[in-house]
Structure 1
Amino acid sequence: MTMAAVIETRAGTQARPETSRIATVELVRDMRDAESVWRGLEQSNQFSTPYQRFDFLEAWQRQVGEREGIRPFIVIAYDREHQPLLLLPLGVKRESGARVARFLGGKHATFNMALWRKDFAAAATQADLDALISGIRVHAQADVLALTQQPRRWTDLPNPFALLPGQPSANDCPLLTMEPGAAPASRVSNSFRRRLKGKERKLQTLAGYGYRLATTDADIKRLLDWFFTIKPQRMAAQQLPNVFADPGIEDFIRDACMTRLSGGGHAIDIHALECDDEVIAFFAGVADANRFSMMFNTYTLSGNAKYSPGLILMRDIIDHYAELGTTSLDLGIGSDDYKRLFCKDDEPIFDSFVPLNVRGRIAAAALSSLMHAKRLIKHTPALMQIAQRVRGVLQ
């Protein structure tokens, strides 16, 4: 970090009014300078999602964000004893003439949230949010905050940002809620389990068949090598663009999958069905004590695909996390048919576009209208069919 950047960060601290528990708001432009506060606020006794872990977002920014011209825009709010109350992990980039601050992680983070001190999040008020936005505005480093794909609740608390003006996000996120200690049939019905067992009997004849959570570097590398070979072929067959070919994406995923967390597991965990001859199905996602959230998946191109290995693996993952006491599981953005076989509910998610100046008001209105139009298309079958046909032609 340059000396100029250090001066900019420290000099940007601004006192807040007495009506809020937020006493100062600081802007940090180097993620490493925020690491100590960040890791403190991502502990299990605080309030955040696994998508906002430092290890996950540092790998994304280093491999993807920097290539896209995104500059870290990390906001930290402190109380009067200079104890951190929240950290907002944003990055800023110029879009259509406006400086737009968005959550780091891009499309690879299903959920976006600040990292909160839990007692503060539980009692946060509109005055606190007003003080936060006012403190950000003082720095004059962005025109608008585009705070998209935020959960209205996370685990046992409402998201304080739900107090901001907002609108439903363009996409839905299928959700499975699991009650600790409940019978397996409460999460995957007995009839569905029997159907999967019937299919799985064909796979169980394969030598070395089984479900595995990758724990060693060698297994993680082997599974990722397979994934990055098979997934592009599957996407091409569906006439979909290979998003994993974008600059830095594969490097980010490999880094995050290899990064071990202090509490166990990895920044991205890999689950697989395998036999001695091949990988049969692959799911990867992020997890904490309360939630597993799926990010990406694929399955074999061989004849074993006809036995629904992806569904079998999903059942195994659900049972694995239920045994750990996990209380919810989601299958990522989008309402694909297979997701509805497991997830009957949706996680309510919303967007907020907060202007910070005159230019930001114009940008916020434009961004809000664009996301509203996307939601309308995705929730109107006739419009969605047209959009899919257009995408197919372009491909």
Structure 2
Amino acid sequence: MTMMAVLTEARTADRAAVLRSRIARVEVVRDLAAAEPVWRMLEQTGQYSSPYQRFDFLSAWLRHVGNAERIEPFVVIARDAEDQPLLLMPLGVEHKFGVRVASFLGGKHATFNMPLWRRDFALSADVSDLEALLDGLRRAGGADVLALQQQPLRWNDLPNPLAQLSHQASVNDCPVLLLPVGAAANDLISNSFRRRLKGKERKLQDLPGYRYGQARTQADIDRLLEAFFRIKPVRMAAQNLPNVFAEPGVADFIRQACAAELAGGGRAIEIHALESDAEMIAMYAGVDDGSRYSMMFNTYTLSEAARYSPGLILMRHIVDHYAALGYRRIDLGIGSDDYKKLFCKDLDPIFDSFVALTGRGRIAAPALAALGRGKHAVKHSPALMRMVQRLRATLPR
């Protein structure tokens, strides 16, 4: 068979797969307000998505952070033959390395990335559906390559349909604590660890007004975020880390998302804290979807109360809080920090996909994939990590 015949046969097979798909039309929406009705419909309970892709979360991010980074909305909506939405991919497009790269909105502030799916479609979507999606994107134009990073292999016990695309391991996996139905408290956190934390907490309980709680009012949110934005830069400087919260728009994004009230109750970012009458002692902020709480950022006091491991004490309160509500998982964000290993005994695999949409994309996609593999190699090599840390310590802040 000649090479031309092989290529013709492959194109014919691809076209046949597209025709078998339930996806009849793919559109790219460049305005978040225009996409909002479909977006909110696919957020409803019973569909399939992560809380990092909620409209309130990502619209706040785009307004304050994405726009500052010159990221333009590139929201992909796939519809069936009855024009009903099957999925929405909340992407943004930016120019990198001379090509137009479309990636999930949220940047480094979204721990997990995935489309919002109509649940019945997510349960049965196959390769022909994904080929139809990509074919529609190529026809729509506007992007050279898809850089779909930090995707969970599974979300809330369901497989991620995009894992059927060619993919590779992300730089890091995500430590996770499983909360089996009916599990005893000591099954989640060992008796000995609980005793150590309770012994430390007795020192904090001597402080006037000591308490654990969740931010419920705007006054709570303002008080805790004021302390966070004052303390966190000091903590990061002590670790010789860049202050990502000082980047343009980040503080305003966090304030807006923490204040955003969701239709079903709660807020786009939920805050838990230990406090006394005098200060915020420790805080964690994250997102939840009624089944999983996912950490985003945290800090703890600069006062003497820091001696008693307030971050670990707060984590124990959070675990007990969500276990009592019947949640199934808690994660502490992507990365392998030592404190995460104290609570999280399992790992959620995370993957990246780089998909060419144009001729330029066919050059860029392998280069982006290679860059990701290089970062993965560094992160998983203690020797290389030590070299990077030594280099980082020499750089000015």
**Deviation for aligned residue 1:190:** 1.1
Residue in 1 aligned with 2:66? 65
Partner amino acid, structure 2, of 1:46:
Q
Matched, 1:230 2:234: no
After superposition, residues 150-229 of structure 1 pair within 5 angstroms as 150-229=151-230
Partner amino acid, structure 1, of 2:266:
G
1:157-215: CA deviation from partner (whole Å, max 9, x where unpaired): 10000000000000121111101221011111111101100111101111111101001
- Structure 1 gaps, min length 5: 1-15
Matches of 1:89 and 1:186 in 2, distance apart? 38
Residue in 2 aligned with 1:11? none
Partner amino acid, structure 1, of 2:360:
R
**Partner SS, residue 266 of structure 2:** coil
**Deviation for aligned residue 1:43:** 1.2
Matches of 2:210 and 2:231 in 1, distance apart? 19
1:269-327: CA deviation from partner (whole Å, max 9, x where unpaired): 11100011111001000001111000000000001101000000001011111111110
Matched, 1:47 2:34: no
Matches of 1:187 and 1:262 in 2, distance apart? 31
Matched, 1:34 2:52: no
Partner amino acid, structure 2, of 1:336:
D
- Give the superposed CA RMSD: 0.9
Residue in 1 aligned with 2:100? 99
Matches of 2:187 and 2:29 in 1, distance apart? 46
**Partner SS, residue 38 of structure 2:** helix
Residue in 2 aligned with 1:82? 83
Matches of 1:275 and 1:70 in 2, distance apart? 41
Matches of 1:29 and 1:220 in 2, distance apart? 32
**Deviation for aligned residue 1:264:** 1.1
Runs of 4+ in 1 over 3 A off after TM superposition: none
Residue in 1 aligned with 2:351? 350
Matches of 1:171 and 1:154 in 2, distance apart? 17
Partner amino acid, structure 1, of 2:68:
R
Matches of 2:157 and 2:239 in 1, distance apart? 39
Partner amino acid, structure 2, of 1:141:
G
Matches of 1:51 and 1:262 in 2, distance apart? 16
Instruction: Judge conservation of contact 1:44–1:289 (CA < 8 Å) in 2.
Output: no
Residue in 2 aligned with 1:110? 111
Partner amino acid, structure 1, of 2:198:
K
**Deviation for aligned residue 1:17:** 4.5
**Deviation for aligned residue 1:361:** 1.1
Matched, 1:129 2:157: no
Residue in 2 aligned with 1:138? 139
Partner amino acid, structure 2, of 1:374:
K
Matches of 1:87 and 1:190 in 2, distance apart? 45
Matched, 1:337 2:338: yes
Instruction: Judge conservation of contact 1:113–1:150 (CA < 8 Å) in 2.
Output: yes
Matches of 2:118 and 2:62 in 1, distance apart? 24
**Deviation for aligned residue 1:391:** 0.9
Instruction: Judge conservation of contact 2:144–2:361 (CA < 8 Å) in 1.
Output: yes
Partner amino acid, structure 1, of 2:275:
E
**Partner SS, residue 20 of structure 2:** coil
Matches of 2:262 and 2:393 in 1, distance apart? 40
**Partner SS, residue 340 of structure 2:** helix
- Structure 2 gaps, min length 5: 1-16
**Deviation for aligned residue 1:18:** 3.2
Matched, 1:277 2:278: yes
Instruction: Judge conservation of contact 2:18–2:128 (CA < 8 Å) in 1.
Output: no
Residue in 2 aligned with 1:4? none
Instruction: Judge conservation of contact 1:166–1:350 (CA < 8 Å) in 2.
Output: yes
Instruction: Judge conservation of contact 2:101–2:145 (CA < 8 Å) in 1.
Output: yes
Residue in 1 aligned with 2:393? 392
Matches of 2:242 and 2:28 in 1, distance apart? 36
Matches of 1:117 and 1:81 in 2, distance apart? 14
Matches of 1:277 and 1:21 in 2, distance apart? 59
> What TM-score, normalized by structure 2, do the two folds share?
0.95
**Partner SS, residue 272 of structure 1:** strand
Matches of 1:42 and 1:190 in 2, distance apart? 39
Equivalent pairs counted in the alignment come to 380
Matches of 1:187 and 1:141 in 2, distance apart? 48
**Partner SS, residue 195 of structure 1:** helix
Residue in 2 aligned with 1:6? none
Residue in 2 aligned with 1:13? none
Partner amino acid, structure 1, of 2:371:
L
Instruction: Judge conservation of contact 2:18–2:129 (CA < 8 Å) in 1.
Output: no
1:110-162: CA deviation from partner (whole Å, max 9, x where unpaired): 00000000010000010000000000110110000000000011012100000
> What TM-score, normalized by structure 1, do the two folds share?
0.95
Instruction: Judge conservation of contact 2:18–2:131 (CA < 8 Å) in 1.
Output: no
Partner amino acid, structure 2, of 1:132:
L
Partner amino acid, structure 1, of 2:342:
L
Residue in 1 aligned with 2:364? 363
Matched, 1:305 2:306: yes
After superposition, residues 288-299 of structure 1 pair within 5 angstroms as 288-299=289-300
The percent of aligned pairs where both chains have the same amino acid is 65
